[in-house]
Structure 1
Amino acid sequence: MHPEKSGTRILGIAESFRGRDRSILAGIVMRRDLRIDGAALETITVGGMDATEAIIRIYETLNRSDINLILISGAVMAWYNIISPDIISQTTDRPVIIITYEQSDGLCDTLRYHFPGDSERLAAYKALGERDFVRLHTGHTVYLRRAGIPLTTAEEIIHQITLDGKVPEPVRVARLIARSVMRSSQTGI
């Protein structure tokens, strides 16, 4: 992977979820120079364990051999639907970065409370491992989990595609699209 190339393509994934049975995932293919050149949508089950598979389906639906990296906003979506960056990276043969935005003491106790006896979900959460702390050029802090990419390369890319604030452009745009689709589905458009 060559993060310095303007044509480096990143698949940004983000969700929109508001107390429904399903959550909307949007995937946006964005070049490092911030040009958008692809999009796909999927749904996941609120409280389910299908987010990893849905992200893989987005990648496969796009049918793009030029995607260099998958960037996901959040490791836990749609009410504790936990993502496996390792499975996504192995299945797609692409590096994966999961970005989160807040300090956390972890979710083990919360998962035990809401999903008693769900050892699969707890194991999936524990498999995420520790996060890497990154201070952005914007002054904000983010946290990264990675699969198939060194920390120094991941940091370089995140710095390049974050214009302001703490949300990198591919996932910022994906979140906007997912929210728009969610609002449209709620109003019946």
Structure 2
Amino acid sequence: MQLQKQGIRVLGISESFAHRDWSVLCGVVMRRDLHIDGFCFGKVRVGGMDATAEIIRMITSLDRQDVNAILLNGGVIAWYNVINPVEIMEKTGFPVICVSYKDSNGLSGHIRHHFPGDEERIKAYKDLGERMVVPLKTGLFLYARGYGCSDYEVMKLCKIFTLHGKIPEPVRVARLCARTIMHNTNAGKIIDNPSSG
């Protein structure tokens, strides 16, 4: 990644769900100066295993070659719908960074409780690997995993895009957008006919 570029762009992807069948995903393309110049939308099944394929579809739908990295708001979304960041990286050509915000002993026990015998889901979760602690300019920290990028690049990118608190701006805006769509009466039309801009 060319982290020194003023025009560096990331695609931040986050979700919103409220114990329904589907979770709404939003992707926001944001430049280093916080200029937003692209959106994409999708949906995944709550408790499913379709997040990886849908995120790849969303990234492909943008048809952007100027994105420097994909920033995911978590590696496990929509009630244990586990993402495969390595597959996303390999199929899109972009480095992937997953961020989270709380200390945790892991989700393996929860997954085994809710999905007994689902070894594919357990393996997908374990394949995410260990998280690293990223201290931020705000005095707080987040946890991150990087795929196709170095630990230095993960830390630098998170610091560049986190201005307040500990949530990087691209995923913060994506989460707000996804939440708005989820609660909008026309949400079904938007996510059934996903588009990018």
- Which category of TM-score, normalised to the shorter sequence, fits these structures? over 0.9
Structure 1: how far apart are the matches of 2:43 and 2:187? 18
TM-score, scaled to structure 2: 0.93
Structure 1 position 185, deviation (Å): 3.5
Question: Closer, same or farther in 2 for the Cα pair 1:147/1:187, shift >3 Å?
Answer: closer
1:80-138 CA-to-partner distances (Å, cap 9, x unmatched) read 00011111111111100000000000011111110001010000000001001111111
Structure 2 contact 181–187 (Cα < 8 Å) conserved: no
Q: CA RMSD in A?
A: 1.4
Structure 2: how far apart are the matches of 1:187 and 1:2? 36
Alignment correspondent of 1:117: 117
Matches within 5 A, 1:74-153: 74-153=74-153
Question: Closer, same or farther in 2 for the Cα pair 1:65/1:109, shift >3 Å?
Answer: same
1:63 aligns with 2:63: yes
Alignment correspondent of 1:155: 155
Structure 1 segments unaligned to the other structure (5+ residues): none
Q: Secondary structure at the match of 1:111?
A: helix
1:180 aligns with 2:151: no
Structure 1 position 188, deviation (Å): 8.4
TM-score, scaled to structure 1: 0.97
Alignment correspondent of 2:194: none
1:9 aligns with 2:23: no
What is the aligned length?
A: 189
Q: Secondary structure at the match of 2:117?
A: coil
Structure 2: how far apart are the matches of 1:55 and 1:40? 10
Q: Secondary structure at the match of 1:163?
A: coil
Identity level (%): 51
Question: Closer, same or farther in 2 for the Cα pair 1:109/1:40, shift >3 Å?
Answer: same
Matches within 5 A, 1:40-59: 40-59=40-59
Alignment correspondent of 2:193: none
Q: Secondary structure at the match of 1:180?
A: helix
Structure 2: how far apart are the matches of 1:44 and 1:24? 7
Structure 1 position 67, deviation (Å): 1.0
Structure 2: how far apart are the matches of 1:67 and 1:128? 23
1:118-169 CA-to-partner distances (Å, cap 9, x unmatched) read 0100000000010011111111121111100001111111101101100001
Question: Closer, same or farther in 2 for the Cα pair 1:184/1:135, shift >3 Å?
Answer: same
Structure 2 segments unaligned to the other structure (5+ residues): 190-197
1:20 aligns with 2:26: no
